Structure 1
Amino acid sequence: MGLFDRFSPAGAARPDSVAASQAPGTICAPLTGSLVQVKDVADPVFSQGMLGPGLGISGEGDVAYAPVSGTVIATTSTSHAIALKADDGAEVLLHVGVDTVALRGRGFKTLVKQGDHVSAGDPLILFDRSLIRERGLDDTVIVTVTNADELGGVSPVEGADVTAGDALLTTAC
């Protein structure tokens, strides 16, 4: 039984939300795992900071949770990334894997659509980590703040590991 065999076509089954900080300026970990500095992500668009400062997570599980409370401002047709505008103004990109666009949506399911309001810790993307790995792709989940300069900067948490819902980044808002 594969990951998506557990979900009905109507999407009746949905993972529970995780407890997450609602504090202004806090961007939460979308899954549990080990931190990867964005400069070490195997994609130059991220590692060179073109999409803003952030962190990667080499994680566990097959669900990416909302890193902030806010509005979904964009989704991808391949369901591997979501952009959110946090209620406090941070623009956050959640991106599952490196080069996963090559899967053309296979192994991904987005649980939200553009315009939806979500709370930090709500499930956003289901993904098949084993498929990503089978295809030889990097399954690091990346979170960046695309408007960090407008917010006065972004600070990463200290440490090597995080749990879904823990503080990952903080902004000056």
Structure 2
Amino acid sequence: MRSSFDFTPFRRSAVGFDRLFDMLESSAAAGAGENYPPFDLIKEGEQDYRIEVAVAGFKQSEIEITSHQNVLVIRGAKADDAGANYIHRGIATRSFERRFALADHIHVTGADLHDGMLAITLKREIPEAMKPRRIEIGGRETASAEPRIEARAEAREPEHA
């Protein structure tokens, strides 16, 4: 199985997609071996999404969520249990970091930790300036165009005299 894909032919003919190709190349290289903690991606509506991460054993104070420049980062660091005398430790408590690339205009709207599941809600919020808008076609009527021509002609006559 191939671990990377060469995007060079696409880079030559696609203008402005550098960030997309960089993201694809870096995610293919970084995500090859890491699968802890497990997560689900859920589309809840046309513009709404949810990421659920299984963080059993982690307290709210041991999890950090940051969103910066279209990257969502979830970090978990377990506090030491120095007083516990484990005979067997089968519950994973290692530190982790999960990164998710977010598309433009995707914003984190909330996070909730319940029963060992961290749920992060996301929403696509397209700014009004970026939304499609209908352009009305204006037609010129000959009656309204004639006064403009006459006004121009009248304005020019005193200059020539």
Into which bin does the TM-score normalised by the smaller protein fall? 0.3 to 0.5
Give me the TM-score of the superposition, normalised by structure 2: 0.35
Structure number having the greater strand percentage: 1
Higher helix share: 2
- Bigger relative contact order, structure 1 or 2, given CA contacts below 8 A and separation 6+? 1
Quick check: which has more Rg, 1 or 2?
Answer: 2
